[in-house]
Amino acid sequence: MRQLIIIGSGPAGFTAGIYAARAELKPLIIASSVETGGELTKTTEVENFPGFPDGIQGPDLMIKMQDQAEKFGAEVLYDDAVEVDLTGEVKRVTVGNGTTYEALTVIYATGSAYRHLGLPEEQTLSGHGVSWCATCDGFFFRQKNIAVVGGGDSAMEEATFLTRFADKVTVIHRKDTLRASKIMQDRANADPKIEFAWNKEVIGIQGESAVTGVTLRDTVDGTESELALDGLFIAIGNDPRTHLVHGQIDIAPEGTIAVEGRSSRTNLPGVFAAGDVLDPTYRQAITAAGSGTVAALDAEKYLADLDPELLARADGNTPSEPVTASERVSA
Ligand code: NDP
- At 265-275, the pLDDT tens digits run 999 999 999 99
From 124, 86, 109, 75, select the one nearest 268 (Cα to Cα): 86
Contact yes or no for 13/275 (Cβ under 8 A): yes
Q: In angstroms, rounded to a whole number, what is the distance separating the alpha carbons of residues 183 and 293?
A: 31
The two beta strands, 45-46 and 56-57, are antiparallel
What three-state secondary structure class fits 244? helix
pLDDT at 233 (0 to 100): 98
Q: In angstroms, rounded to a whole number, what is the distance separating the alpha carbons of residues 309 and 154?
A: 50
pLDDT band at 34 (very low <50, low <70, confident <90, very high): confident
pLDDT band at 323 (very low <50, low <70, confident <90, very high): very low
Whether 74 shows a pLDDT value over 60: the answer reads yes
CATH superfamily of 120-234: FAD/NAD(P)-binding domain (3.50.50.60)
* Cα-trace Rg, the chain: 22
Given 60, 67, 79, 133, the catalytic residue: 133
Whether 214 shows a pLDDT value over 60: the answer reads yes
Domain ranges of the chain: 2-114+238-330, 120-234
Under CATH, which number does the domain 2-114+238-330 receive? Answer: 3.50.50.60
Whether 16 shows a pLDDT value over 60: the answer reads yes
The model's pTM is 0.78
User: Ligand 1: which of 48, 174, 184, 196 to mutate, judged by most atoms within 8 Å of the beta carbon?
Assistant: 174
Same CATH topology for 2-114+238-330 and 120-234?
Answer: yes
Whether 309 shows a pLDDT value over 50: the answer reads yes
Q: Which atom of ligand 1 is nearest to the CA of 117?
A: 18
Q: In angstroms, rounded to a whole number, what is the distance separating the alpha carbons of residues 321 and 54?
A: 34
Q: In angstroms, rounded to a whole number, what is the distance separating the alpha carbons of residues 275 and 117?
A: 24
54 is catalytic: no
- At 82-139, the pLDDT tens digits run 999 999 999 999 999 999 999 999 999 999 988 999 999 998 998 899 999 888 789 8
Q: In angstroms, rounded to a whole number, what is the distance separating the alpha carbons of residues 165 and 194?
A: 12
Query: Lowest-confidence range among 172-176, 182-186, 281-285, 326-330?
Result: 326-330
Quick one: DSSP state of residue 126? B
pLDDT band at 41 (very low <50, low <70, confident <90, very high): confident
pLDDT at 35 (0 to 100): 83
Q: In angstroms, rounded to a whole number, what is the distance separating the alpha carbons of residues 259 and 107?
A: 12
